[in-house]
C-alpha cells in the first residue's frame, strides 16, 4: 500500500483551498506504486492525482520533473499537466514534505500487451524524445552503468549469492558493460522507466505516460532499450515475446528512425538497461526488510532478460 503518510480531511481541504479547482469531495489512497504516497482526489470540478514525495526523489529535482510534465503536455503528449496553486507554484509543502496536484488521466496499465498496443507505446516514446528535445531543464542520469557497477560492487559477491547463486556473475558483466558503454549517440530527455505500469491505455491507444521521476538527459536509444526490456518478456523474464519487441521498435521508428550507430548499439544498451534494474532491485532487496509492506522486485527477472540479450542481441536488433 503506497500511502506512507496519513492526511486528515482538514489538511486535505486546506491544501485544495490553495488551488482553483473547486472544493474537496473525496480523497482515496492509491495502492499501486512504491516510491511515493498517491491519492485520487475528487473536487467539485474534476479529478486529480495528489502525490506526496516520500523517498528517492531529491526535492531539488522536483522543478525539473514537474516542468517536464507541463512541457510535454503542452506539446500534445498524453502526459498529465501539473495544477499550479493560486500563487503559481507547481508544488507545496505539508509537514516538511513536498506535494503536487497533477491532472488525472484515464486508462489502465496493461499486463499482456498486444503488438498493436506495443507499436503505439514505441511511437509515443519517440514522440516524447522529439518533444523533450528543447526542454530547458537539465538532469543527468545518476543510474547509468557506472552506478550499476558501483552498487553491485558495494553489495559484494557474498551478499549477491545469498539472493541467488547466479547473481555474482553479474559483477564481471557490469564491468564490461561500463567499459564498453557507447557515448556518442543522440540524446534528449528520456523517461528511463517506461514499464507497463507507467503507461495508461484505452484500448490500443496510449492515454497516459506517468511516473517521470527517473527522467534525465541520456541517449534516446537507451530509453528504447529500457522499454524493450520492460515490455517484451513475460513477468519473470523467462520467455521473450518477439512480436512485442518488433512492434515496439517498429512503432518507435514510425516516428523517429534509429541511426546505424544506434541500431548497432542496441545489444549493449539492452544489457545496460537490464543491469540498471538488476542493481536497483538488488539494492532494494537488501535494504527492504522481509516483513515490509512493499513487495520486493526480484533482480533475477532482469538477469534472465540480460542473458537473453547476451545470447540473441546481435540478431535481434540487426
Ligand X SMILES: Nc1ncnc2c1ncn2[C@@H]1O[C@H](COP(=O)(O)OP(=O)(O)OP(=O)(O)O)[C@@H](O)[C@H]1O
Ligand Y SMILES: N[C@@H](CCO)C(=O)O
Contact residues: ligand X, CB under 6 A: 2, 30, 32-36, 38, 49, 80, 102-105, 197-198, 208, 210-211, 213
Instruction: Quote the least distance from Cβ 5 to ligand X, whole Å.
Output: 13
| 112: Cα within 13 Å, side-chain hemisphere | 1
Closest separation between CB of residue 311 and ligand X, Å? 29
Q: What does 38 interact with, of ligand Y, ligand X, none (CB < 5 to 8 A by kind)?
A: ligand X
Q: Which is nearer to ligand X, 194 or 247 (CB)?
A: 194
The partner in contact with residue 104, picked from ligand Y, ligand X, none with C-beta cut-offs of 5 to 8 angstroms by kind, is ligand X
Task: Say how far apart CA 53 and CA 97 lie, in whole Å.
Answer: 7
CB of 249 to ligand Y, least distance (A): 20
CB nearer ligand X, residue 202 or residue 314: 202
Question: How many of the other CB atoms lie within 10 Å of CB of 1?
Answer: 12
Contact set with ligand Y (CB under 6 A): 193, 195, 277, 280-281, 297
Contacts of 227 (CB under 8 A, 6+ apart): 121, 122, 125, 191, 194, 248
Please choose, from the candidates 192, 199, 251, the residue with its C-alpha nearest in 3D space to the C-alpha of residue 218: 192
If contact means CB under 5 to 8 A according to the sort of partner, which of ligand X, ligand Y, none does residue 152 touch?
none
Looking at the Cβ atoms of 200 and 249, the one nearer to ligand X is 200
- Grid cell in block for residue 22: 473547486
Closest CB 56 distance from ligand Y, rounded Å: 8
Q: How far is the CB of 299 from ligand Y (least distance, A)?
A: 8
Distance CA 252, CA 299 (A): 27
**DSSP, residue by residue, 38-82:** EEEEEESS-EEEEEE--SS--GGGHHHHHHHHHHHHHTT-S-PPE
Of 135 and 213, which CB lies nearer to ligand X in the complex structure? 213
Which among ligand X, ligand Y, none contacts residue 281 (Cβ within 5 to 8 A by kind)? ligand Y
Residues whose CB falls within 8 Å of the CB of residue 12, separated by 6 or more in sequence, listed in order:
24, 27, 39, 41, 50
Angle at which helix 115-132 crosses helix 242-255, to 10 degrees, equals 40
Minimal distance, residue 25 CB to ligand Y, in Å: 32
Q: 131 or 275, CB closer to ligand Y? A: 275
Smaller CB distance to ligand X: residue 123 or 200?
200
Residue closest to ligand X when measured from CB atoms: 33
Q: Which does 280 bind (CB under 5 to 8 A by kind): ligand X, ligand Y, none?
A: ligand Y
CB of 313 to ligand X, least distance (A): 26
* Sequential DSSP letters for 221-274: HHHHHHHHHHHSB-TTS-SB-HHHHHHHHHHHHHHSPPPHHHHHHHHHHHHHHH
Amino acid at each position: 500500500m503506497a500511502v506512507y503518510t496519513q492526511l486528515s480531511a482538514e489538511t486535505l481541504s486546506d491544501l485544495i483551498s490553495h488551488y482553483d479547482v473547486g472544493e474537496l469531495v473525496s480523497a482515496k489512497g492509491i495502492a499501486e506504486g512504491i516510491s511515493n504516497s498517491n491519492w485520487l482526489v475528487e473536487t467539485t470540478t474534476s479529478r486529480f492525482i495528489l502525490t506526496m514525495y516520500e523517498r528517492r526523489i531529491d526535492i531539488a529535482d522536483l522543478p525539473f520533473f514537474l516542468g517536464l510534465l507541463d512541457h510535454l503536455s503542452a506539446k500534445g503528449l498524453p502526459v498529465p499537466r501539473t495544477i499550479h496553486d493560486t500563487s503559481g507554484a507547481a508544488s507545496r509543502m505539508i509537514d516538511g514534505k513536498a506535494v503536487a496536484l497533477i491532472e488525472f488521466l484515464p486508462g489502465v496499465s496493461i499486463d499482456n500487451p498486444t503488438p498493436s498496443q506495443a507499436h503505439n507505446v514505441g511511437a509515443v516514446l519517440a514522440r516524447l524524445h522529439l518533444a523533450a528535445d528543447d526542454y530547458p531543464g537539465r538532469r543527468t542520469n545518476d543510474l547509468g552503468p557506472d552506478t550499476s557497477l558501483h552498487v553491485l560492487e558495494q553489495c559484494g559477491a557474498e551478499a549477491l549469492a545469498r539472493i541467488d547463486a547466479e547473481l555474482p556473475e553479474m559483477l564481471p558483466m557490469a564491468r564490461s558493460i561500463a567499459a564498453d558503454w557507447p557515448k556518442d549517440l543522440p540524446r534528449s530527455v528520456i523517461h528511463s522507466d517506461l514499464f507497463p505500469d507507467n503507461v495508461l491505455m484505452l484500448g490500443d491507444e496510449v492515454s497516459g505516460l506517468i511516473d517521470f521521476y527517473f527522467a534525465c538527459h541520456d541517449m534516446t536509444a537507451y530509453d528504447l532499450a529500457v522499454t524493450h526490456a520492460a515490455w517484451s518478456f513475460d513477468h519473470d523474464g523467462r520467455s521473450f515475446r518477439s512480436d512485442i519487441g518488433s512492434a515496439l521498435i517498429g512503432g518507435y521508428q514510425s516516428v523517429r528512425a534509429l541511426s546505424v550507430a544506434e541500431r548497432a548499439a542496441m545489444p549493449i544498451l539492452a544489457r545496460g538497461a537490464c543491469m540498471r534494474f538488476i542493481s536497483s532491485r538488488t539494492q532494494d532487496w537488501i535494504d527492504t526488510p522481509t516483513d515490509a509492506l512493499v513487495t520486493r522486485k526480484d533482480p533475477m527477472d532482469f538477469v534472465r532478460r540480460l542473458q537473453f540479450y547476451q545470447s540473441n542481441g546481435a540478431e535481434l536488433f540487426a
